[in-house]
Structure formats: structure tokens, C-alpha cells
Amino acid sequence: MPRTITARARLALGIATLLLVPGCATVPPPEEALRTDRARSPAQLFGPLFAQVQMRQLFADGKTFVDAVPRHDPQAILADYRAHTPRTDAALRAFVLANFDLPPAPSSVVDQPARPTRPLLAHIRALWDDLARPPVVPVPGSSALEFSGAHVVPGGRFREIYYWDSYFTMLGLREDRRQDLIEGMIDGFVGLVERHGHVPNGARTYYLSRSQPPFLYAMMDLSDARDPAVLARRLDALIAEHGYWMRGGRVVRMPDGSLLNRYWDDRDTPRDESYREDVETARASTRPPATVYRHLRAAAESGWDFSSRWLSDGRTLATIDTTNLVPADLNSLLYGLERAIAARCRALARPCATPFERQAAARRVAVERWLWDEAEGRYGDYDRKARRIRPGVSAVTAYPLFTRLASEARAARVAATIEAKLIAPGGLRTTTIATGQQWDAPNGWAPLQWIAADGLLAYGHDGPARKIAVRWVGTVQRGYASSGKLVEKYDVETVRPGGGGEYPLQDGFGWTNGVTRAMLSRWGIGD
């Protein structure tokens, strides 16, 4: 149910009051930060040139052109294009190659298998330096965003740092005592919040209109920082991030008046990096294109792009309706964020703990009321149109355990559901439905393995937690033994590399390395 004008005004007043509490925030609110940010995406910079390159599929991967670096002033390039518009694909390609430096093509997972030359654990340790990058100072006109710390990228086509990936990468960095990279990544994300009002999906201009699942507070728990000035700056960033999520389209008023959140994107155009794919999806739908684009972008903010979770018919991407849903993962993480802010306020003797404690308590009540399915013993996503939990068991049910929101009784129900329906021969299933989308069966993903196993363990359900960890590590080990690679996702039904999605399988791979390394340590599985 959409919020009324009165509800909007009340919410805005509440946030404004919170931001005025002494010591609560010094980072400018998102709207102010974005007004001063002049970064424009490639679609905004290059208009008709951009559309032609993407729609004519000049490059196999839609991310290639958006990561290219212009050799001249973008306005001059666009003016030249308009004055001498290339008529053929060959001429257009020649124009692009004359005016842009393209990123190097990532290596293929499938075409270059190799027997490993070192044990898995040694390979993961070596990969940290392979995937590490220095601070980023963007070239004018490029899509790169400034990132002030040394950091680790996922790998493959993902050449820049990504938000939620980084937490799971840091789990492995922590085990391997790479605190230098952990602190650099946290500081870089704090810098993004200070410049843009939030952590973008990734460090690119075309990601600025959305974020990703808010794990920054959890990253800070992996830090060794003790300097009060550093801690104060980080607290300010968390408060600013919370403000970002509590504004505009990301806030939903539930039927009882409580406030929860949904995934959203501030733009309703095709994603720069998947422009052609989004246009084709919109054409296959009967709805206005802008509506479809907003739902696609919101799903990208969730990190689950794409999944049957977001499809109104449970099968077809053209039916995507992400913003109609109130998701259990996002609201669990925001509960964790609110509790973390309250704890940090108290630790720094700031008078901002109580408001966030109250928000966390209210969110917990709302999650337990609206996002719990008693009949199926699971948490899920509330469908605002159907006024019920959307059908379909998924790994999202583990999030309230991961953030310690769930009661002991409900955690026990979730543990039984996970064991009965989601644990596969190779680890945790993402969903139980096979649609061809990459965030569906038969795929399993490293972050979801950790979230479920950690959450189950926290509530004393050691059996299923260990089963997930052992099976996942076994899947990764098997894949490594046959190819010498660690990849972004795996088929946990047949215990092999995964498939589906908008692009070929990528290797590297940050969060797989991090979660596997952390599981090897926590569960003593052995290499």
C-alpha cells in the first residue's frame, strides 16, 4: 500500500529530527550529496552514440563500452559522432576504437581449464594480491568513481569494487591477516558515502542511482581500528547510509502503519551495463517500459539479479515486479544496521543510541508480523498487491538468523525448512525453482552459504550449518581440482560450476575465495 502524503511528511520530519540530534550525523543527507556530484553515466554522457553501441551489440558484453575510457572530451566525441554518424557496424566500431580505450577482455572460465599447481588454501592466499587494486583516481569522462583505499575486486568482468561482495571477500582476508586491505576497503566505502550519500552498487557512475544490501556495518566489525576519530567518521557514514535507505521510494508503510523497506533505484531507464537486455525485456512486457526498467534496476540493487523471487508469475523475467515486494533480506540487514549504530553511539558516548534502538525494535516487530510464513516455517518477501508472502522457499529465509533478529522458536522452524528443502548435495540452494535465471536453482552462491551457516550456528543448529559448509567447500574443491579456478557460482545439484544469467561464468572470484577460506577455518574442514 503506497504511503500517504501525511505519512511521507511524518517520515521526513522524523528523519530530520533524528539528524538534528547532537552527535548523530555530520555527513550530508543523500539529496544534498547527490546535488553536488557531477558524475554522469555513459548513457547520460554519450546519448545516441551510447544507445547505438549497446543496441547494435557492438561488443558481446554490454559492460565493455561502459567501462571504456574516452581519449578526448566526451562533448567533443559526441559532437563528432553527430556530425559524422557512422552508418555501418564496422564504421561504428572504428569510431569507438578511435575515441575510446577499451578494458581488457576477462579470461574465459570454460576455455582455459588447468590442473591446479598448488593446494586450494595456498591458491586463495595468492589470489588476494592478484585481485588487489590501488586507490582509484578516475580519468575525466570515464565511468570509474574515486575510491580512496586499496581494495579487492571480484574478478573477471567485474573490474571495480562492489558493495555487498566485499563483506564476504573480507571474511577470507581476515583469516589470512590482510588487515591492510580490509581497512582500505572500509575507508573507501566510507569515502563513497561522504561523496555520494550512500555506497553505490559498485564504484562506477552507472551504479550511483542504487545501492546493494547494506553490509557496511558488518564490514566494520572485521576492523581493528581503535582511533576515536576513525570510529566517529565511520559512525557518521553508517548514520548517513541509514538515512539513504529511509528516504523516498525505498520506504514502505505496511497495513498496520509500521515502516519497512524495499529495493529501489532512483532511475527508470535501462541499466547502462545491460542496456540492450533491458530494452528487450521491456518489449516482452505489456507494461510501460519505465515500469519494467525500475523493477529490473531494483532487482539489481538486491544483488539477486535475477531470480524467481522478483517475478510475479515465478518464471518469466518480463513479469518482474521487484518494487511491489517487501524483502526479508533487506529488512533484516537494516535491523542489523540500526542495532550497530546504536551500539556505536553508546561506545562513543553520543546521544543517538536510543532513537536507533527504538527503530530496530519496531523493525523487528514488523518483520516478524509481515515477513514470516507460519504454514511453511520460513521468512519471505511480502507481496504488497497480493497482501501475502510470495510463494517459494528461498535462501532469504536465513537472513533473520544471520542478523539475530529471529526468535529461538522461529529459528528452529527455519533450520528445519532449510534442511528439508534447501540443502543440496553441493551446498545451499538459492531457490527451489529452476528458471534459467542465475539466482535460482540449481545455483548456489557463496554469500548465501555463509549467511545460512553463520545464522544457523548462532542459534545452535550446528548440524545443518556444518552440512552446508562441508558440502560447499567440497563443491569448490572439486571445481578447483578440475579447472584450477574458483568461480562466482556453482550448480549445487550436480556439484559443478553454475550457469544462467546475462553473462558467461566469471572466475576470480572474490566472495567465493573469502567464504571458502573462512569456512575452512571456522569448521576445520581442511584443505
Q: Per residue, what are the HEC states of 217-244?
A: HHHHCCCCCCCHHHHHHHHHHHHHHHHH
* Residue 308, H or E segment: none
Tell me how crowded residue 366 is: count the other CB atoms within 10 A of its CB.
21
How many CA atoms lie less than 13 Å away from 424 in the CB half-sphere? Answer: 25
Report the relative pairing of strands 151-152 and 132-133 from DSSP bridges.
antiparallel
CB 174 within 8 A of CB 181: no
DSSP state of 507: B
Among the residues of 177-288, which ranges form H helices? 179-196, 216-220, 228-245, 275-283
d(C-alpha 491, C-alpha 522), whole Å: 23
d(C-alpha 54, C-alpha 65), whole Å: 8
d(C-alpha 149, C-alpha 475), whole Å: 33
278-285: Cβ within 8 A, 24+ apart? 279/55, 281/317, 281/318, 281/320, 284/317, 284/318, 285/318, 285/319
Tell me how crowded residue 73 is: count the other CB atoms within 10 A of its CB.
11
Give the distance from CA 329 to its chain's centroid.
Answer: 11
Radius of gyration of the chain (CA): 22
Is 488 among the catalytic positions?
yes
CB 235 within 8 A of CB 348: yes
DSSP reduced 3-state for 423: strand
Strand pairing partners for 162?
A: 202
Give the active site residue among 277, 373, 381, 488.
Answer: 488
Number of helices and strands in the chain (H, E): 20, 16
d(C-alpha 414, C-alpha 371), whole Å: 13
Residue among 292, 322, 303, 338 nearest 439 (CA) = 303
DSSP state of 396: G
Give the active site residue among 175, 277, 305, 381.
Answer: 305
d(C-alpha 513, C-alpha 438), whole Å: 19
d(C-alpha 327, C-alpha 235), whole Å: 25
d(C-alpha 526, C-alpha 520), whole Å: 6
Tell the residue number behind the cell numbers 564504421, with chain if given.
Answer: 91
CB 135 within 8 A of CB 183: no
d(C-alpha 117, C-alpha 385), whole Å: 54
Is 374 among the catalytic positions?
no
Dihedral over Cα of 274, 279, 281, 287: its sign = positive
Show which residues are catalytic: 305, 488
